[in-house]
Amino acid sequence: MKMESFSAELLERAVKSGFAQAEVYIKSGESFEAGTHEGEINSYEVSGSFGLGFRGLYNGKMGYASTQALDDDAMEQLIRGAKQNALLIDEEEAETLFEGATKYPDVNAFSEALEEVSAKAKLEKLLKLDELGRSLDEEVRSLEDCSLFSASGETRMMNTLGLDLCFRKNICGMSLTPIARRGNQSETSFRFACSRDFHALDPEALAKEGVQEALSRLGGEVLPSGAYPVVFRRDAAQALLGTFTGVFNAEAAQKGLSLLKGREGQTIASPMVTILDDPLQWIGARPFDGEGVPGSAKALVEDGVLCTLMHNRKTAAKQGTKTTGNASRSYGSKLGVSPTTFYLKPGSLGYEALLREVHQGILITGLQGLHSGADPVSGDFSLSAKGFRIEGGALGGPVTGITVAGNFFTLLQAVQCLGDDLYFGFPGGSCIGSTSLYGGKLTIAGK
């Protein structure tokens, strides 16, 4: 059965079966991924995916069910499963469907040209990246990883209130992890690039950047323990910010899992800090959220003041406010809240100017243990780190084997300088971005 006819019939049957409202949420896509080892292709996968999520309002509660099949048995299982799920719900807050908006933003996130790129062209570019990564310097002769991917997907939503939306997007990207060796020492670096323009992926530039970063880390020293002025380079700052995005989630706050609960309108950060969530920008752009609410840019923090948390319609209704368009879901999950393109607004300082401003300190370029060494509720973190000395306003020698400790909320309040070097991490369900930042002194544990 075709997807459109299956969805229409499912909604019709749902109403006849006693659902006051019903909705179909469909995700489908195709992906390509390949990797190399020592100049040869050692992994290659082309796959497709499809899933249909159904939710419906039954006896005043929203029930969920999902399937990967499009046949009559699947239809009956969806209706029966959603009813059973609804009867198990004991939450007081009612979840309802969205009837749609009169206007949606124009988001062009699909490249027809990318779909026409052959597998041969992708593999050739991948092998070029592998070759360059292993040949640019004598101290880098192997790669821990070298890969290239492309993916395309479609999201479709239909419900009994008249909502009918469809959105397509695609992306391609490549990454490498060079291994630099000098004597008994070895260091790695991870670099990636992604775009909707396959020809914009530059193996030479990516390999050069990755190799230089790995080489620069060789010969690192362990610092004496103490309090040091610390700059988080944009990639390290991005990783740290990404770990704590949940504190801006209204669902988490309402469950008592965020210290920002009830603090809207209060100053929570330095006046230099503005944090934005904009679903219309960068590689993760989309015109509507998981409920079909139109996407729009908003400031979560503006000039240090908490303006709003991220909401879906359910959390917004519970708090007596409006949704921010941050509803999230997959075909097999219930409704949640998540960032879209979430980032720290850039400052005015170039990277070198920021180092000159700090003059003496430590530049953190890599963090490890983000899942185990950071508490997303309290904001405390204690993380293994790598980086460089800042000496006389310039980059000094590498440092390694250190731990940086502090508190995310305290760091936001202490921000004194922001770079203009906005960087987004590897794209996933959300895109998180940051600039380099200086937030005063932090505790460094070393020797």
pLDDT of residue 287: 97
Percentage of the chain with pLDDT > 70? 100
Instruction: Give 62's strand partners.
Output: 57
Pair type for strands 341-344 and 431-434: parallel
Residues with Cβ within 8 Å of 328's Cβ and at least 6 positions away in sequence, in order, are: 289, 290, 312, 335, 336, 337, 338, 429
pLDDT of residue 246: 96
The maximal CA–CA distance of the chain, rounded, in angstroms, is: 75
Q: Is the pLDDT of residue 92 over 80?
A: no
Residues with Cβ within 8 Å of 293's Cβ and at least 6 positions away in sequence, in order, are: 98, 101, 312, 313, 323, 325, 327
Kindly report, as residue ranges, where domains of CATH 3.30.2290.10 are found in the chain: 3-216
CB-CB contact of 326 with 338 (8 Å)? yes
Average pLDDT over every residue of 209-224: 95
Q: How many H helices and E strands in the chain?
A: 10, 21
pLDDT of residue 380: 97
What is the rounded CA–CA span in Å between residue 271 and residue 304?
Answer: 4
pLDDT of residue 13: 96
Over the stretch 394-425, which tens digit does the pLDDT of each residue have?
999 999 999 999 999 999 999 999 999 999 99
Burial of 311 (0-12, 13-18, 19+ CB in 10 A): buried
Q: Is the pLDDT of residue 94 over 90?
A: no
The helix-helix angle for 72-87 and 3-16 (nearest 10°) equals 40
∠427-437-340 over CA atoms, to 5°?
Answer: 30
What pLDDT band is residue 429 in, cutting at 50, 70 and 90?
confident
Q: What is the SS3 assignment for 88? A: coil
What pLDDT band is residue 1 in, cutting at 50, 70 and 90?
low
Tokens of 85: 């799920």
Closest to 313 measured CA to CA, from 19, 11, 62, 102: 62
What is the rounded CA–CA span in Å between residue 55 and residue 61?
Answer: 10
Over the stretch 368-385, which tens digit does the pLDDT of each residue have?
999 999 999 999 999 999
Q: Is the pLDDT of residue 428 over 90?
A: no
Average pLDDT over every residue of 153-159: 97
Pair type for strands 298-302 and 417-418: unpaired
Q: What is the SS3 assignment for 347? A: coil
The helix-helix angle for 203-216 and 119-133 (nearest 10°) equals 30
What pLDDT band is residue 220 in, cutting at 50, 70 and 90?
very high
Average pLDDT over every residue of 99-126: 96
Mean pLDDT of the chain: 96
Average pLDDT over every residue of 293-299: 97
CB-CB contact of 172 with 195 (8 Å)? yes
Report how far apart, in Å, the C-alpha atoms of 410 and of each of 209, 378, 441 are: 33, 11, 11
Closest to 33 measured CA to CA, from 123, 117, 160: 123
Percentage of the chain with pLDDT > 90? 95
Average pLDDT over every residue of 236-257: 97
What is the rounded CA–CA span in Å between residue 35 and residue 198?
Answer: 17
CATH no. of 3-216: 3.30.2290.10
Average pLDDT over every residue of 355-374: 95
